[in-house]
Amino acid sequence: MAKTPRFTRQGKTADGSGDEPGRGSRDPDQQRLAAQEKHPVDQGMPPVKLFTTGLQHVAAMYAGVVAPPLVIGAAVGLSPSELTFLTGASLFMAGIATLLQTLGFWKVGARLPFVNGVTFATVAPMLAINKSEGPADALPVIFGATMVAAALGFVIAPFFSKLVRFFPPVVTGSVITLIGVSLMPVAFNWAQGGNAKDPDYGGFDNIGMAGATLLIVLLLRRFTSGFLKQIAVLIGLVVGTLAAIPVGITDFTAVEQADLVGFPTPFHFGAPQFALAAIISMCVVMLVSMTESTADMLALGEVVDRPSGEKTIAAGLRADTLGSFVSPFFNGFLCSAFAQNIGLVAMTRIRSRFVVATGGGILIVMGLCPLAAGLIAAVPQPVLGGAGVVLFGSVAASGIQTLLKADLGKDNNVLIVGTALAVGIIPIAAPDFYHAFPEGAKIILDSGISTGCVTAVVLNLVFNHLGRSRRDDEVVAHPMEPGEGIPHPREGAPA
């Protein structure tokens, strides 16, 4: 039996003998074959499914996008109307950055179902900038530092992406598990109400609504099928929000006070200013953000069965940094990949990047229409917390699946996983552990994902590479080889 030709991206068969279906060939049978071979990441969906599943992604990450501008806006003393403006700008730029990441152009964009938004890693240094520069100049200085850091990140992205060769399954599995575990406190905080200063924080009503939402999602996942099963989280959020109305924890104030149309005027808070100390601190944060984004891309690549190599990671980092460079023009902050949406992809198994691109379009509309943003903001934090338990737990479960590809029968690998997880969990288990360290060091140390990632990489080099020739009786994974489930860093290159 003759083999079906395998086509490459250049429009030729693997042996160079023919055109790729749908590009150079007009044979209908070949075109249908090409459509069947399209990876689920690149497959489209009907408009209704695109919108509902895209909205589900927006609902899952909305709180994370609006939290940094709310914190910073309050710190610099913005009025309620200006605070709404700053939040809308962050939503608008999250949508732009998401489109850059999912659709992409040239060598920009991982072209994976990746949601981008304002990273919370910037909050601490931005608060420090506000303290040193004063509220009057804080935002312009922050915007200037963000632009410089983003430009630096864009330039070094192809070099930074080469770190993928240091991520065999024992490392990636540890990092992915750590991402899920690190996100769980976010879900627990939401479940309690989201604001520790609120007198009802952790009350029965809040935790009860979180539990009810969790139960709704689990029941839908167990007893429904098809499309309803795929949007179980969205249904859980809607039903939970409606159920929370008689309980008294649903607030529609944002809807009532929101304008129908609003545009993030460029440099609304003043032209960017450039202060050396602020630039240095933001460049450090950019490196931390790029490390987390690399880990997130590796995690998502495993979830969607399209492992991320050097080219994908470099393109994804370019999207992050380009979005971050443009963001200050429209009064936004540094943008990065959102790990919580990886859990949604893992749970629903909807891998199409066009779903997340639709979510990016929704974010843009929300940024331009405060009324639409208010509707999403009406979802109570406890309801988000109930859904978050499932989403973030799914990320950790994906990490455990990846660890199954590593040989945990080796003491070395068990030691690597255990130590990396322990170091990464320090900021969660003991938030004040690094309180005596300099502020610049705490920017990195307080990111458990980054410290756990670095720990796993270094230990893998020490135990599975250095002095390996003296341990011929052991069979270990070479740290410079991605291993099973991770592609060779030079994608498409011969073995």
Which residues constitute the domain of residue 53? 42-470
Residue 454 in any domain: the answer is yes
pLDDT computed for residue 118 by the predictor: 80
Model pLDDT for residues 446-480, shown as the tens digit of each residue: 767 778 888 888 898 888 877 654 444 444 444 44
pLDDT computed for residue 276 by the predictor: 81
Q: For the stretch 225-245, what's the b/e string if a residue is b when 16 or more beta carbons lie within 10 angstroms of its beta carbon? A: eeeebbbbbbbbbbbbbebbe
pLDDT computed for residue 120 by the predictor: 66
**Closest alpha carbon to 342 in 77, 110, 146, 124:** 110
**pLDDT mean over 364-391:** 78
Residue 6 in any domain: the answer is no
Return contacts of 279-283, CB within 8 angstroms, 24+ apart: 279/144, 279/145, 279/148, 279/149, 280/440, 281/125, 281/128, 281/129, 281/145, 281/440, 281/443, 282/122, 282/125, 282/142, 282/145, 282/146, 282/148, 282/149, 282/334, 283/148, 283/149, 283/152
Model pLDDT for residues 420-447, shown as the tens digit of each residue: 999 989 988 888 888 888 766 776 677 6
Residue 358 in any domain: the answer is yes
Binned at pLDDT 50, 70 and 90, residue 223 comes out as: confident
Q: Where is average pLDDT lowest: 3-12, 101-110, 406-415, 439-448?
A: 3-12
pLDDT computed for residue 25 by the predictor: 44
Residue 237 in any domain: the answer is yes
- Whether pLDDT at 486 is above 70: no
Residue 336 is given by DSSP the state E
Q: Tell me the pLDDT of the chain averaged across its residues.
A: 76
Gap between the Cα atoms of 206 and 244, Å rounded: 9
pLDDT computed for residue 211 by the predictor: 93
- Whether pLDDT at 390 is above 70: yes
Binned at pLDDT 50, 70 and 90, residue 241 comes out as: confident
- Whether pLDDT at 159 is above 80: yes
**pLDDT mean over 275-292:** 78
Chain centre distance of CA 484: 24
Residue 105 is given by DSSP the state B
* Contact assessment for residue 194 and residue 200, using Cβ atoms and an 8 Å cutoff: no
Residue 491 in any domain: the answer is no
Gyration radius of the chain's alpha carbons: 23
- Whether pLDDT at 134 is above 80: no
pLDDT computed for residue 61 by the predictor: 74
Model pLDDT for residues 252-282, shown as the tens digit of each residue: 776 676 667 777 788 888 888 888 877 877 8
Highest mean pLDDT among 15-24, 26-35, 137-146, 246-255: 137-146
Greatest Cα-to-Cα distance within the chain, rounded to the nearest angstrom: 75
* Contact assessment for residue 349 and residue 174, using Cβ atoms and an 8 Å cutoff: no
Binned at pLDDT 50, 70 and 90, residue 36 comes out as: low
The vertex-320 CA angle with 420 and 295, nearest 5°, equals 20
Residue 490 in any domain: the answer is no
**How many structural domains does the chain have?**
1
pLDDT computed for residue 422 by the predictor: 93
* Contact assessment for residue 178 and residue 167, using Cβ atoms and an 8 Å cutoff: no
Binned at pLDDT 50, 70 and 90, residue 349 comes out as: confident
Residue 15 in any domain: the answer is no
Distances (CA, A) of 404 to 49, 72, 171, 301, 414: 33, 42, 12, 16, 12
**pLDDT mean over 168-191:** 81
- Whether pLDDT at 225 is above 90: no
- Whether pLDDT at 372 is above 60: yes
- Whether pLDDT at 29 is above 60: no
**Residue whose entry in the numeric block shows the structure tokens 């590809």:** 405
Between 258 and 306, whose confidence is greater?
A: 306
- Whether pLDDT at 28 is above 70: no
**pLDDT mean over 124-131:** 72
Query: Token pair for residue 475?
Result: 């069979």
pLDDT computed for residue 484 by the predictor: 44
pLDDT computed for residue 67 by the predictor: 67
Residue 341 in any domain: the answer is yes
- Whether pLDDT at 160 is above 80: yes
**Amino acid type, 68:** P
| Exposure of 271 in the CB half-sphere (CA atoms within 13 A) | 1
